[in-house]
């Protein structure tokens, strides 16, 4: 069958086989084709592509495709049902209200003879009991052209069922942004982050020593790093990689600390030389074990791009995440992220995003008025009649569920100054404390965990309080993640520059040197557009700090 007439924005499902043959499906039929047909249809019709997961986009991105919109079945499942797991068998079972404990699995002895799949027509993807057949979900869908078409048609059918579960316009918008974020993740993993290997090595060497030629040299460097700390406590035998031993050492020196976290020890710098030496050792050790020479060798390609796996949702509140150190790169190594020849980096960071999002999702008019200021905390401080740092602590404490100390006193003022926002957070907290799941503004289900049977009353109260804090924060952080994705996708569509990194609330793009300032202006316009579309009718103002630089470390903030 040849491709029927396809309207702009129409759902077109695809499944791509190992030989890069493609099965297509629309509401009017299915047909067999190849990758070039996808590119042609994108150029001529701009459909909304439907696939089971973003893995389908991999061959397309590798072939140079720039797809406008998609419906990612796995991403939408995570939005509707929460959690991380979203394989086809689970997605199908959830939408058909089938028990997940009866999902069939492949047999251990014969992968072509799945356990429990011996009834009915084996060429049918759906078993008599309603579950997807394990042989199909285990890869049998790609066996031939007919199966590719059937698999694409099933994805289209699932998308229709998912659409029936979308409750609000915000949820419908989230389907697009969550799906698009997964496609962006494929592009980020393929394109990589520009990183100058020579600069990186010059930054690493002073911290951990030159590149070791043998394991013995590496061990000698390790001992020398340890000695820079242990020289301040002669005669002590301490394994610096054992927190309990380090804590015992510090207690013996008069520092009664509950743990050895850096922020806990920093106030004691200057009180004893071992404190500063240990903090320096910790930074060097992190570089040596996680961001050293092997990290460069394993993750930086010959083209000078740092690549790692990406996902559009962390399974909790829905933030984008990445591996290979892309999301946790130490500030000391950021000078190695350098624009390629003839290019510049454009860095944009959303300002005070979470309190601004709280104003939008809660509908608190007074807090929305505060967002009109570049520095939201200044008008909040004036309203509370406190210093700005106290106002900031109060707002953050409200979102994170802290109620004691300075934050507890300042929260009393917030309750009267911004009652609608505080009631929004309180309602989320109460749901979490009761063990009831919550949904973000964009409709993502955030699951709560139960109180185990048999725990005492004190432990039960502690668990309830933890759920309450988690729920109230997830409602704000989740909505912030949704806005960030909507912004990133608007930038992807409008700016003409390549996004090379999404880091929490920060975007990093690479653009031709002569276009950097225009891309910077586009980032502001895209934020206004995304916020107006996401929070329709809201007066809340969102802001971003934008810099055009040659290397990441030169950016503001």
Six token digits for residue 192:
């990589």
- % of the chain residues with pLDDT over 90: 85
DSSP secondary structure letter of residue 102: G
Strands (E), 27-90: 29-34, 48-51, 69-72
446 forms beta bridges with 438
224 φ/ψ angles, rounded to the nearest 5 degrees: -65, -40
Burial of 452 (0-12, 13-18, 19+ CB in 10 A): exposed
| Neighbouring residues of 165: CB distance < 8 A, sequence distance ≥ 6 | 80, 95
What pLDDT score was predicted for residue 108? 43
Contact 474, 440 (CB under 8 A): yes
Cα–Cα distance for residue pair 323/219, rounded to 1 Å: 26
Within its chain, how far is the Cα of 440 from the centroid?
15
Structure tokens at 516: 């950097």
Answer yes or no: are the C-beta atoms of 239 and 248 closer than 8 Å.
no
Chain centroid to Cα 283, Å, comes to 25
Question: Under a CB-based contact definition with an 8 Å cutoff, are residues 451 and 474 in contact?
Answer: no
What is the predicted pLDDT for the residue at 113?
A: 45
pLDDT tens digits for 257-287? Answer: 888 999 889 999 999 999 999 999 999 999 9
By three-state DSSP, how is residue 322 classified?
A: strand
Q: Which two tokens stand for residue 50?
A: 């439907």
Which residues of the chain fall short of a pLDDT of 70?
1-4, 106-120, 315, 403-408, 557
CA 213 to each of CA 74, 165, 193: distance values in angstroms, whole numbers, following the listed order: 45, 58, 28
DSSP state of 300: B
149-187 pLDDT, tens digit per residue, is 999 999 999 999 999 999 888 999 999 999 999 999 999
For 64, left (φ over 0), alpha (ψ -120 to 50), or beta?
left
- CA-to-CA dists, residue 250 to 224, 274, 283, 403, angstroms: 21, 9, 18, 30
pLDDT, tens only, 521-534: 999 999 999 999 99
CA distance 325 to 327: 6
Q: Supply 34's token pair.
A: 């190849």
CA distance 350 to 484: 8
CA 143 to chain centre: 33
> For the chain, how many residues are written?
557
pLDDT value at position 272?
A: 94
Q: Are 503 and 552 in contact (CB under 8 A)?
A: no
The pTM score is 0.92
């Amino acid at each position: 069958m040849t491709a029927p007439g396809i309207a702009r924005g129409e759902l077109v499902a695809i499944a791509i086989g190992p030989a890069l043959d493609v099965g297509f499906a629309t509401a009017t039929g299915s047909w067999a084709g190849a990758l070039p047909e996808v590119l042609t249809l994108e150029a001529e019709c701009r459909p909304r592509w439907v696939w089971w997961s973003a893995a389908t986009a991999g061959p397309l991105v590798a072939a140079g495709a720039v797809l406008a919109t998609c419906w990612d079945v796995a991403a939408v499942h995570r939005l509707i049902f929460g959690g991380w797991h979203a394989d086809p068998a689970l997605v199908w079972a959830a939408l058909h209200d089938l028990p997940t404990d009866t999902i069939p699995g492949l047999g251990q002895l014969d992968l072509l003879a799945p356990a429990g799949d011996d009834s009915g027509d084996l060429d049918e993807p759906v078993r008599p009991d309603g579950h997807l057949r394990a042989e199909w979900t285990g890869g049998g869908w790609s066996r031939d052209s007919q199966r590719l078409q059937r698999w694409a048609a099933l994805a289209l059918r699932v998308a229709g069922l998912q659409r029936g579960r979308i409750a609000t316009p915000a949820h419908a918008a989230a389907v697009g942004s969550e799906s698009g974020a997964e496609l962006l993740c494929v592009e980020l993993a393929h394109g990589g982050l520009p990183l100058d290997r020579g600069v990186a090595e010059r930054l690493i060497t002073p911290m951990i020593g030159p590149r070791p030629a043998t394991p013995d040299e590496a061990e000698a460097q390790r001992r020398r790093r340890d000695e820079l700390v242990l020289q301040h406590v002669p005669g002590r035998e301490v394994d610096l990689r054992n927190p309990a031993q380090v804590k015992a050492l510090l207690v013996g020196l008069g520092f009664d600390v509950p743990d050895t976290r850096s922020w806990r020890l920093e106030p004691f710098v200057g009180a004893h030389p071992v404190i500063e030496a240990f903090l320096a050792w910790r930074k060097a050790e992190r570089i040596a074990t996680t961001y050293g020479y092997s990290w460069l060798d394993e993750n930086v390609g010959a083209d000078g791009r740092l690549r790692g796996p990406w996902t559009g949702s962390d399974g909790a509140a829905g933030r984008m995440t990445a591996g290979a150190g892309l999301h946790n790169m130490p500030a000391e190594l950021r000078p190695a992220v350098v624009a390629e020849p003839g290019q510049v980096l454009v860095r944009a960071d959303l300002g005070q995003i979470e309190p601004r999002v709280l104003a939008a999702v809660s509908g608190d008019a007074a807090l929305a008025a505060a967002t009109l200021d570049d520095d939201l905390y200044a008008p909040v401080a004036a309203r509370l009649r406190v210093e700005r740092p106290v106002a900031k602590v109060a707002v953050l404490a409200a979102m994170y569920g802290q109620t004691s100390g300075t934050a507890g006193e300042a929260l009393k003022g917030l309750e009267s100054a911004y009652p609608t926002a505080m009631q929004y957070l309180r309602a989320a907290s109460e749901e979490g404390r009761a063990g009831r799941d919550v949904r973000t503004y964009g409709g993502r289900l955030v699951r709560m965990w139960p109180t185990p049977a048999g725990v005492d009353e004190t432990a039960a109260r502690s668990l309830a309080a933890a759920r309450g804090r988690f729920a109230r924060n997830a409602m704000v952080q989740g909505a912030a993640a949704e806005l960030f994705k909507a912004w990133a996708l608007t930038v992807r569509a409008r700016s003409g520059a390549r996004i090379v990194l999404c880091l929490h609330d920060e975007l990093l793009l690479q653009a031709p040197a002569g276009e950097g300032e225009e891309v910077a202006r586009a980032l502001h316009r895209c934020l206004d557009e995304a916020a107006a579309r996401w929070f329709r009718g809201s007066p809340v103002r969102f802001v971003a700090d934008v810099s055009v630089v040659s290397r990441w470390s030169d950016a503001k903030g």
